[in-house]
A and B are shown apart, each in its own frame.
Chain A
């Protein structure tokens, strides 16, 4: 695992149209810690995560990664981030195996086919690996996302509602992944309505309020 620096942010503010989603949000996470963002629907959890991933420009405030201020699409941030958003970024036309191999190739280098098969076996999709993603369920699609996290070495994970559509076994897989990632010195920021499978010692809760209409 790459040495992971702290992720810091201060005075973060987000606005969507006329609505101020949040303002003056500060956060800090060092190696092995996981920030769990909670808050009601529409409180700006996804927006905050997209800011930290470097997709969205904050209305105000600053984000620092390894003590360096980063702007959206900062190359250092792009080297570090694994972003699991609402959409699993899978192509219906390609098989599970092709989808996974394609993303891992883009992130790092072309993986050995054995690694891809192993990762799919691990998320219990070994038998479905040759099927087009079109026929897979939502939960199975999320599992391909988990397999990708397992194959790609990134210090900063940003997970938007990682529990969505996952069954009990799937949540166990996520627990195992997160434990290994945080033990190895990785960082994680996750938004979730349900409690995340992370040990309390590693968890740093962050609660966003209700959006205030300006």
Chain B
């Protein structure tokens, strides 16, 4: 595909603008389409958020209700639950499109496939990761976390949940068509989530201990940038392999 972009760029001075517009149009197309579909099946979205709420709320009930203990485990629990909630919604990302023929139509369209899958991933984040990040401070109150800690928690989740969607998309695309795809997906993706978990929960812990979260958040941000650049191409290749 790179050769095509090159030849098109050589054809005319305006061709580069055209290519950029085409990428944006493709991204917007799949983003708008997937968000619309997700909003039509709101019950499914509600189930994921409820799952997050319930998992987070189980720990204070099961463990010792001492303020200090909850305060210690809080960031880790909130992050782990975010991982699980993201995992729960991943099969929906490509499997339905694969089964109903949408994916082959997308892959055959003249628009750039990396841009199309990026739109899908963005829609996945908007409908799963973003609500989780926004709800986290509310749930963090159960763990007696300070307001400044809650702010960092939300910020870390806002940077970290897109990483979860991006890495999860690679796993979801790789397990397309595999038998027992769901459990295989969990085995494949959860280890990939570990760095995001460490730096995300680490940022919150740092603030709790009275230190700056800057280093952790920077590393999280660097991870996000890296994933943003690499994942769309990896997912495109995986999708094409799945369709073969």
* Shortest distance between the CB of B6 and any CB in chain A (Å): 12
Q: Which residues of chain A are near B243, meaning CB under 8 Å?
A: 55-56
With contacts A56-B244, A105-B29 taken as known, whether A93 is within 8 angstroms of B40 at the C-beta atoms is yes
In this complex, what residue of A is CB-closest to B100? A87
Does the CB pair B100–A106 fall under 8 Å? no
With contacts A72-B244, A73-B240, A94-B36 taken as known, whether A89 is within 8 angstroms of B102 at the C-beta atoms is yes
With contacts A89-B101, A91-B37 taken as known, whether A79 is within 8 angstroms of B244 at the C-beta atoms is no
Q: Which A47-85 residues have a C-beta within 8 angstroms of B?
A: 53-57, 72-73, 75, 78-79, 81, 83, 85
Q: Once the chains are docked, how many angstroms separate the CA of A73 from the CA of B3?
A: 13
Does the CB pair A53–B108 fall under 8 Å? yes
In this complex, what residue of B is CB-closest to A51? B244
Q: Which residues of chain B are near A102, meaning CB under 8 Å?
A: 29, 33
Q: Once the chains are docked, how many angstroms separate the CA of A83 from the CA of B103?
A: 12
Count of chain B residues near A, Cβ 8 A: 25
* Shortest distance between the CB of A181 and any CB in chain B (Å): 18
Is A42's CB within 8 Å of the partner chain B?
Answer: no
Does the CB pair A81–B33 fall under 8 Å? no
Does the CB pair B99–A83 fall under 8 Å? no
Contact of B37 among A57, A88, A94 (CB under 8 A): A94
Does the CB pair B102–A106 fall under 8 Å? no
Q: Which residues of chain A are near B36, meaning CB under 8 Å?
A: 93-94, 98
Q: Which residues of chain A are near B109, meaning CB under 8 Å?
A: 78, 106-107
Does the CB pair A93–B41 fall under 8 Å? yes
Q: Once the chains are docked, how many angstroms separate the CA of A91 from the CA of B103?
A: 12
B27-46 vs A, CB cutoff 8 Å, 1 = contact: the mask equals 00100010011001100000
With contacts A78-B110, A93-B40, A106-B109 taken as known, whether A55 is within 8 angstroms of B104 at the C-beta atoms is yes
With contacts A94-B36, A106-B29 taken as known, whether A89 is within 8 angstroms of B108 at the C-beta atoms is no
Q: Which residues of chain B are near A83, meaning CB under 8 Å?
A: 104-105, 108
Q: List 26 A-B contacts (CB under 8 A).
A: A54-B108, A55-B104, A55-B108, A55-B243, A57-B244, A72-B240, A73-B108, A73-B113, A75-B4, A75-B110, A78-B108, A81-B108, A85-B104, A86-B101, A87-B99, A87-B100, A88-B100, A89-B101, A91-B102, A93-B36, A94-B36, A94-B37, A94-B40, A103-B105, A106-B26, A106-B111
**A87-B99, A90-B100 known; 20 other A-B pairs, CB under 8 Å?**
A55-B104, A73-B113, A75-B110, A78-B108, A78-B109, A78-B110, A81-B108, A85-B101, A85-B104, A87-B101, A89-B105, A93-B36, A93-B37, A93-B40, A94-B37, A94-B40, A106-B26, A106-B106, A106-B109, A107-B109
7 nearest A-B pairs in the assembled complex, by CB-CB distance: A87-B101, A93-B40, A89-B101, A89-B105, A75-B4, A79-B110, A89-B102
